[in-house]
Chain A
Amino acid sequence: MSIFNRHCVALQILIIVFALLSSGCAPIPRPTGAESAVRPFTIGAIPDQDPEKLQRLYGKLADYLSAELGVPVVYKPVTDYTASVTAFSIGDLDMVWFGGLTGVQARLQTPGAEAIVQRDIDANFHSVFIANVASGLTPFEDISGLTQLKGHTFTFGSESSTSGRLMPQYFLSLAGVKLEDFKGELGFSGSHDATIKLVEAGAYEAGALNEQVWNSRVASGEVDTEKVIVLWRTPAYYDYHWVIRKDVEERFGEGFIGRVRDAFLKLDANVPEHKEILDLFGAERFIPTESANYAQIEAVAREIGKIK
């Protein structure tokens, strides 16, 4: 039985592996665990732009809020729109910078959550339809011009983007263009920047995106305007806003939501540190908003099937 004996040592090693494994499975102290004294005020954002910029932006904001509110604030990055809604609704995130649609979805899944503030531009937001010049598409003034897009390839941004999908799809349907009218498979590029690049490369002849992102990319010379042109600018609608969970008041005290709102409203373009944050957000200032402002978005979302 020599083989048997030789293998016994190997077996012992195996047992040690599992012993270690099972001990490893015992609860390990976790900085964010429920048992630790106060879980920091955790903020997040839908990943609609260059993540590195988001990291910089929200890092600064977290520092500012922490100083204003006197509680620890951390920013937790999320990779996709859906995940940010889920993370908010299960309480991993206390306050999130949502788009119009994701904000509605999040509030529907999270009783008591409410929209509190948004940028000055968000109350009057636009999308743009863009096209590769090689497609032969030309700019138009009236919504009916969207029918031009029939028979061309087309991409949205993320599935859950308000400015990159929901509202463009809504205006397309108003103009009588169905999603099946496009040539080939309809695209979802994943982000506004990707939409620009894919249309610029000609992978899709046309696309729709957030006007603010478009303007900032054009201003910084990142778009080849010889190749990509704006076809049409949509009418205005409400978009991005901060949504906060109700239970933060249990952790940080009564009136906390109000203090958060005030901290945003206090941001002043004349104060250099404030201006930096406002610039990163692409805003002059923040303004109060309320959940009711998003009734139109909700209606459109239900019509399109984004909300059941």
Chain B
Amino acid sequence: MAQVSEIRRPNSTALPARPALLNGRSLWLLLLLLAIAWSLGQASVFGREIVNPGGWPLLLRFLHSSVRPDLSQEFLMLTFNAALITLGYAVCGVALSTLLGLLGGVLMSEVWWKALRTSRREKEDHHAPWLMARSVFAIPRAIHEVIWGLFFVNILGLTPLTAILAIAIPFGAITAKVFSEILDETPRRPMEALLHGGASPAKAMLYGLFPLAFPNVLSYTFYRLECSIRSSTILGLIGAGGLGYELLLSLQSLRYEQMWTLLYALFALNGATDYWSGLLRRRLGAVGRIELHMTHVARQPQHAPRQDIVVRASLTAAIALLVFSLWYVRPNPGQLLAPHTIERLVVVAGNSFPPDFMEQGSVLLRLSLQTLAMSILAMTFAGVTGVVLSFLAARNFLAPGGILLPADALWGWRLFSGGMLLLTRAMLLIARSIPPPIWALVLLFVLFPGLLPGALALGVYTMGILGRLMAEAVENLDERPLRALKAQGAPGPHVFLYAALPSTLPDYVAYILYRWEVTIRETVVVGLVGAGGLGRLLTEQLSNFDYRGVTATLICYLALTILVDLLSATVRRLLR
């Protein structure tokens, strides 16, 4: 690229050579287009009917039921209890994962091992324990909550502990990674002062580092609660109870009125959690959620959290909620050490090894490719729609008072654009509140079965998450270049093209890639309802109690996850 030199040649008339159209970036773009085309081919979109006209009446009946949900007192009680169960699992899961995350975060952080070294007055670096801690936590992260859930069902049965552990273990591993990054990015001087004053590493960290890292830790913990509600709902689908469970039952028994009652409860639960977490995040210094995943941790908060009423109230409420949740779902941790459990673990482990690749060899390969294709299609859909909706859902764009809305717009137009803002936000909330398997089952009304409904289901769900993340990115956008172009008389669409899009696109691409890593894990979830890919095979193997086959399939998942993580990291580095 350009050499940074101060040499100026005002008289030089030689035009610099136009950069080749085919460069590193455009090559990746080309590769992406090819991958999308290949994925469409895998979903056999070409030369086949996609939309099933016969299903419209069923879909209409489903949609029509939305205006008359079942509001009988009996069913409302059931919905209320189900919502409390979903919430309870989520809260307990997050609490446990935060505990695991703090422990693991310390072990995975560079600063801890450095502190240890300082206090022992050792000279050379020890990378071994640090690297070991990092790799130990990498595996639980790669496995989806639902698979953990299926595993614990076999060990512990359908108990609350199963749902809580299924959330807490993968979440704990992710949280540990993020916490370690937060700790490493937190200013170290207070801790070092304590260390040099002779405090033990643990004490120095507790008093010198944790207090400074606390706002970011808290902010991330609340973000995890949002994710946890969604996971807890999905776990319900495999029998853990709560809203997901009731939803699946009402859908399978075609009771759409009841299904809508449950859906409204789900929207309310997700909406309230997202709002709470968003409010707290803003109060804690507007740490962009995803930034925490992207290794650079945001600036320190403006106000000390202690002084902020919202933060204090939130902490109190969170503790109360945790106590209530523990009381409500009553997990029995004693179960973990019961001889029965260990016996069962030995049996399952014995049945699971060695993995059996032989029986399904070529099938595994084909399904792995299908799974990859499904994730690519899902992300393409989520990425494109997410970009569009994020601008509509951002407060500072087309909404009243936004950059692209003329200051003297007529009230009708203002009303319309304000309505659009609410509508898109509601759409995004609905999209991410409904678990992907439910989306898949609804889509199956009108789409012919295959990879496509599964990919779309994941796509719609991910769109809801991405759209919100991106709207936050748009709201944090540097508006000055936009205002500059607007001030020179450029029309709105042009301003969008030359300022809004290019300044947000790198963030978008990074978000999409990060989300792709999540989505490849989530393909298993739609596979459970028969949407194809490895998830489909996994369901079959589980129903056959073919644990060695299950192990083989899980290894394929692991390999795919690693592949996608690597690809995503490579492209993200290229874009930085």
- Closest approach, in angstroms, between the C-beta of B467 and any C-beta of chain A? 29
A166→B392 CA distance, assembly (Å): 50
Known contacts A4-B207, A49-B253, A90-B344; 20 additional CB pairs below 8 A are A10-B305, A14-B217, A17-B318, A20-B322, A25-B333, A28-B330, A30-B330, A34-B338, A51-B252, A51-B253, A81-B543, A82-B542, A83-B153, A83-B158, A90-B157, A184-B449, A193-B252, A201-B54, A202-B53, A203-B444
Nearest CB of chain B from residue A45's CB, rounded to whole Å: 13
Q: A90-B344, A193-B253, A198-B444 given as contacts; is B239 within 8 A of A83 (CB)?
A: yes
Interface residues of B: mostly helix, strand, loop or mixed?
Answer: helix
Q: Write out the residue numbers on chain B whose beta carbons fall within 8 Å of the beta carbon of A189.
A: 530
B486 interface residue per 8 A CB criterion:
no
Cβ B332 vs Cβ A30 within 8 A? yes
Number of interface residues of A (CB under 8 A): 72
A101 to chain B: closest residue by CB: B543
Q: Is the CB of B304 within 8 A of A4?
A: no
Cβ < 8 Å to B, chain A residues 158-181: 158-160
CB of B188 closer than 8 Å to a CB of A: no
Within residues 460 to 476 of chain B, which ones have a CB less than 8 A from any CB in chain A? Answer: none
* B side interface size, CB within 8 A: 72
A10 adjacent to B545 (CB under 8 Å): no
9 pairs from A and B in contact (CB 8 Å cutoff): A7-B212, A7-B305, A17-B322, A20-B319, A21-B322, A34-B338, A87-B158, A203-B54, A203-B445
B26 CB–A CB distance under 8 Å: no
Which residues of A pack against B, CB within 8 Å? 1, 3-4, 6-11, 13-14, 16-18, 20-21, 24-28, 30, 33-34, 47, 49-53, 76, 78-83, 85-87, 90-92, 105, 109, 132, 134, 153, 155, 158-160, 184-185, 187-191, 193-194, 197-198, 200-204, 305-308
5 smallest beta-carbon distances between A and B, as pairs = A202-B54, A7-B211, A79-B239, A50-B253, A159-B543
B449: chain A residues within 8 A (beta carbon): 153, 155, 184-185, 187, 203-204
B539 at the interface (CB under 8 A from A): yes
Most buried by A among B159, B239, B319, B529: B239
Residues of B within 8 A of A (CB): 44, 48, 52-55, 57-58, 95-96, 99, 153-154, 157-159, 190, 206-208, 210-212, 214-215, 217-218, 237-239, 245, 248-249, 252-255, 304-307, 315, 318-319, 322-323, 326-327, 330-334, 338, 340, 344, 444-445, 448-451, 529-530, 532, 539-540, 542-546
Is the Cβ of A86 less than 8 Å from the Cβ of B157?
Answer: yes
Chain B residue at smallest Cβ distance from A53: B253
A188: nearest residue on chain B (CB-CB)? B530
For the complex, what is the distance from the CA of A13 to the CA of B238, rounded to whole Å? 36
- Name the B residues within 8 Å of A7 (CB-CB): 211-212, 214, 304-306
Is the Cβ of A308 less than 8 Å from the Cβ of B58? no
Given the complex, which residues of B lie within 8 Å of A18, measured CB to CB?
Answer: 99
Find chain B residues with CB under 8 A from A184 CB.
44, 48, 448-450
Q: How far is the CA of A14 from the CA of B218 in the complex (A)?
A: 9
Interchain CB contact (< 8 A) of B239 among A1, A80, A307: A80
Please, which residues of chain A bring their CB within 8 A of the CB of B530?
187-190
